[in-house]
Structure 1
Amino acid sequence: MRTRALAAVLVATLVAAGCAGPQGPTPVAFTKIDLAGAPVTLTPVGESLLVGVRRDGQPVVPALLRRDPGGAVTEVPATPATPYGNLARWTQVDTDGTRLYAVGGERGGAHGNVRWSAWDGTASGVVEKRQAFSTFGGYGAGDLVGVVVTPSTPAIVGNWENPTGGFDIATWLPVGDDWIRQPSAGTALEASRDALPFPIAATRFGAGIMVVGWQFANGREEPVTWHSTTGVTGWTKTPLPAPSPGAAMSVHCDQSDCYAAGRLNGSLALWHLTGDAWTLLPDTPNYPVTDKDVLPAPVPTPTGVLQLVSEGDTLKALHHTTTWTVHTITGPTGKPTAAVAIGPTLHAVVGDRLWTAELDSLR
C-alpha cells in the first residue's frame, strides 16, 4: 500500500510539472487591440493611453490615438506643416498631463538622412512647428533620441558634432515655436578623445532627464547613463556596472528609481538604480540582443520588474523579483518594441499591433 501511495504522489507531481512545462509557468494569453494604424509609441496620460500610430497610404501618415480606461479610442488630430512632417514616424511622444510634445522623422533627400519634425499641442490636437533646416539638419547634425517633458521645460535630446571630433549629446529647448540647441561644451554631455558618447533613449527622472546609451572608451563599448538634476542643467555621467562590453538601450524611471535594459556581450542585461547607485540584476536569462534590436523599456511591477523579449517569433515576459520567472506569451508574434503599464494593465507593441495583459497574470 505504501508503495502504491508513493507512486501516486510521484505521478501527480510529474503531471503537475508537465503542465507548467520545462520553460516555466503556463503560457499567458495577450489580448489584441485593433487600431486604425500601426502603433509605434506608447505614452501614459493619467489613466489613458496615448498611442502614436503610422498609417500607410493615408493623407496624414502620423496620427495619435487616445484609448481611455474603458477601451474607447478617440483621435488626437495631428496637423503637419512640412512634407516630411506629413510622412513622419513618431520617435517619442511625452506629456506633462496637459501639453503634448512629439518628435518624428522620415528619411529623405539626396543622402537619405532623417528629416526631423517637432510637434506640440494638447489632447485637442498637435501641430508640427516648422523649423529651420539647420535646427536638426545640415553639417554637423546627428540623430534625435526623442522629447522629454520635465517640470521646468520640455527638451529634445539627440546628438551633434563636436568641433574637435565625434558627437556630443545635445539638447534643444523651445523658444516660441523654435527649438534652440543648448551648448554641451564643459558638461558631461561633451565628447572627448577618451570617451565618445552615443545616447539611445531618454525619459524624465525627478526634475531632470535620464539618458541611457553607451560610450566608446578604454578601447571598448561601455553602457552609460547621463542624468540632469533640473531640466537640461546639472549633468552627470555614470558608467553602468558591466563585466563585458555593451550598451543600455531603454529606460523607465519613477520618482525615486529607474530600470534600464540593454545588452552585455550580445545578451540581455538589466540594471536598477536605487538611491545613487546602479546595480546589475543577477542571473538574467540568456536572450540574444544585438545593436540593431529595439528593446522595450522595462516595466516596474508591484513586486519587481518585467522585461519583454522575443525568441524567434515567440514573445517572452521575464519577471524579476528575487529570482527570474519566464512566461511564454500566446497571441502576438514578432518583436516587442514598446511597453508601458497603466494601473494593473500592461500595454505592449509587438510587431505592428497593440496587445494588453493583466500584470497579475505575469507574476
Structure 2
Amino acid sequence: MILAVLAVLLLASCGVAQPPERTRFTQVELPPGTVPVRIAAAGDELVVAVSEDGGPGIVRHRDGRNTEVPLTPATGYGAEALWYSLAARPATSGPEILAVGGRRGGAHGNVRWSVWRTTGTGVAEQPQPFSTFGGLGAGDLVDAVLPDTGPLLVGTWQSHSAGTDPSVWTTDGTTWTRRSSTGTPLESTGAALNYPMAAASRGAEVVIAGWQVVKGVPRPVVWTLRDGTATPVPLPGNGRIGTAITVSCEKTCSVAGRVDGRLAVWQGGGDTWRRVPGVPEVPVGDRDRPPPPLGDTLVYSDRGTVRIATLSGGTRDAAGPTGVVTGVARVGDSIYVLAGPGNDSQDNNQTLWRAGTG
C-alpha cells in the first residue's frame, strides 16, 4: 500500500500523470442577431465587425458592454458588404475605424469594394469612382491600416512589368488615390513577382507581409513602408518554400506564415527580422491563414484544437474556442479569439471568446 502511494506521488511530481494546463475562455455575448467577422483592438476596447440581417455592422465592446455603432452605407453593394479588413485605433471621441467591405456582383462576379471610415456620428461608406478599386487592371484590397501618418489601403494592381504589384492607396479624407508601384521596390518584374497578404502599422511605419517568387520559388518577405518608400526585407530561415501570411504590430512586429508546409513565425521591424525558434509543429495549408503572435503569445489551431503557446516556451490548450482561429486581439490583460469551424471568417459560424483578468 505504501509503495503504491509513493508510486502515485512520484508520477505526479514528474508531471507524467498530470493533465495539460488549460487557459479558460468565456464566450463574449454580442447583440442578438450579430455574428463576429473581424476584430481589432483600439486602446481599452475591442471593435468587432459583424454580420447582421444580411448586411454589415460594427460593435464596440468594452468592460463586458456592447455599443452598436451607427453604420451608413452609400451604395447597394455597401449595404450588403462582407467585411474583408478592419483597423482601429484609440481617439479622443471613440475609436478611429477604417474598414474594407466587398460584395461580388456585375457580369464577371468581381468583388465590388467599399471603404468605411469613422464620422462624427458613426461609420460611413465613402463612395468612390468605379476606377478607384475596379476596372481594367484591378486586383484585390488586402488590408486597411492606420499609421500615424494617415489611413492607407494595401492591395494589388496589374503590374506595368509582370503579374500584379502590391499597391497602396492614400486619402485626402474622402477620396482614395492609388500610388503607382512602377519603378519602386513594390513593382513585380520578370525576375521577381510580389504578392502582399496582410499589413499592419506601428507608429508611422507600415509592414506589408507576403511572398516573392524568384526563379519559380516562393520566399517569405516583408516590405516596410515609411515616408512613402517601401523597403523589401527577405525573411530569414525560410527553408525550401515559404510565405508570410499575416502580421501584427505591438512593441515589435510579428509575422506568421508557412515554411515547407509548417507554421513559421518571424519577429522584428525595419531591416532586422529573425525567425522564432521552437514554434509548435503545425501543418499550414495553402488556404490557411494562421494569426500572428501578439507579442510573446501565439494562439493557433492544431487539427481543430485551439492552443496557446508562449514563444519563450510552454503550450496549453484553450478551454472554450474550437476549430480554426481566424482573429486575435489584445485589450489590456485580455486576449480575444475569433474562431469557428472553417477557414473563412465570413462563414457566419464564428464565435468570439475572451480570456484574461482585464
> Is the TM-score greater than 0.5?
yes
Displacement of 1:100: 2.1
**Closer/same/farther in 2, CA of residues 94 and 274 from structure 1, 3 Å limit:** closer
Identity %: 38
**Closer/same/farther in 2, CA of residues 275 and 82 from structure 1, 3 Å limit:** closer
**Aligned AA for 1:252?**
S
**Closer/same/farther in 2, CA of residues 275 and 174 from structure 1, 3 Å limit:** closer
**Closer/same/farther in 2, CA of residues 9 and 218 from structure 1, 3 Å limit:** farther
Equivalent position to 1:347, from 332, 336, 341: 336
Q: Is the 8 A contact 2:291 2:326 kept in 1?
A: yes
- Partner residue, 1:237: 232
- Partner residue, 1:262: 257
Tell me the alpha carbon deviations over residues 181-233 of structure 1, each in whole angstroms, 9 at most, x when there is no partner: 11111211111111111111101123121000111113211000000123xx1
- Partner residue, 1:333: 322
Equivalent position to 2:57, from 48, 63, 80: 63
Equivalent position to 1:163, from 160, 163, 166: 160
Matches within 5 A, 1:1-363: 8-15=5-12, 17-21=15-19, 25-36=20-31, 37-55=34-52, 57-58=53-54, 61-68=55-62, 70-98=63-91, 99-122=96-119, 124-230=121-227, 233-241=228-236, 242-255=238-251, 257-273=252-268, 276-300=271-295, 305-321=296-312, 323=313, 325-351=314-340, 352-358=350-356
Tell me the alpha carbon deviations over residues 6-49 of structure 1, each in whole angstroms, 9 at most, x when there is no partner: x754421313524534xxx3222211012131111111122011
Q: Is the 8 A contact 2:250 2:294 kept in 1?
A: no
Q: Is the 8 A contact 2:126 2:174 kept in 1?
A: yes
Unaligned runs of 5+ in 1: none
Displacement of 1:122: 4.1
Partner of 1:228, secondary structure, is strand
How many corresponding residue pairs?
Answer: 341
TM-score (structure 2 length as normaliser): 0.90
Q: Name the CA distance, whole Å, in 2 between partners of 1:157 and 1:207.
A: 15
**Closer/same/farther in 2, CA of residues 100 and 274 from structure 1, 3 Å limit:** closer
Tell me the alpha carbon deviations over residues 58-105 of structure 1, each in whole angstroms, 9 at most, x when there is no partner: 4xx11110011x211001111111111111122222234233221111
* More deviation, 118-127/39-48: 118-127
Tell me the alpha carbon deviations over residues 108-167 of structure 1, each in whole angstroms, 9 at most, x when there is no partner: 222222111011114731110111111111111111112111212211110100122211
Displacement of 1:275: 6.6
TM-score (structure 1 length as normaliser): 0.88
Q: Name the CA distance, whole Å, in 2 between partners of 1:275 and 1:131.
A: 33
Q: Is the 8 A contact 1:19 1:26 kept in 2?
A: no
The Cα RMSD (Å) is: 2.0
**Closer/same/farther in 2, CA of residues 337 and 12 from structure 1, 3 Å limit:** same
* More deviation, 26-35/121-130: 121-130
Q: Name the CA distance, whole Å, in 1 between partners of 2:139 and 2:320.
A: 38
**Closer/same/farther in 2, CA of residues 123 and 32 from structure 1, 3 Å limit:** farther
Displacement of 1:244: 2.4
Q: Name the CA distance, whole Å, in 1 between partners of 2:123 and 2:51.
A: 15
Q: Name the CA distance, whole Å, in 1 between partners of 2:64 and 2:171.
A: 34
* More deviation, 338-347/122-131: 122-131
Unaligned runs of 5+ in 2: 341-349
Q: Name the CA distance, whole Å, in 1 between partners of 2:202 and 2:194.
A: 20
Partner of 1:119, secondary structure, is strand
* More deviation, 185-194/291-300: 291-300
Tell me the alpha carbon deviations over residues 225-264 of structure 1, each in whole angstroms, 9 at most, x when there is no partner: 000123xx12100110112211111111134x21111111
Q: Name the CA distance, whole Å, in 2 between partners of 1:94 and 1:353.
A: 19
Q: Is the 8 A contact 1:212 1:249 kept in 2?
A: yes
**Aligned AA for 1:78?**
L
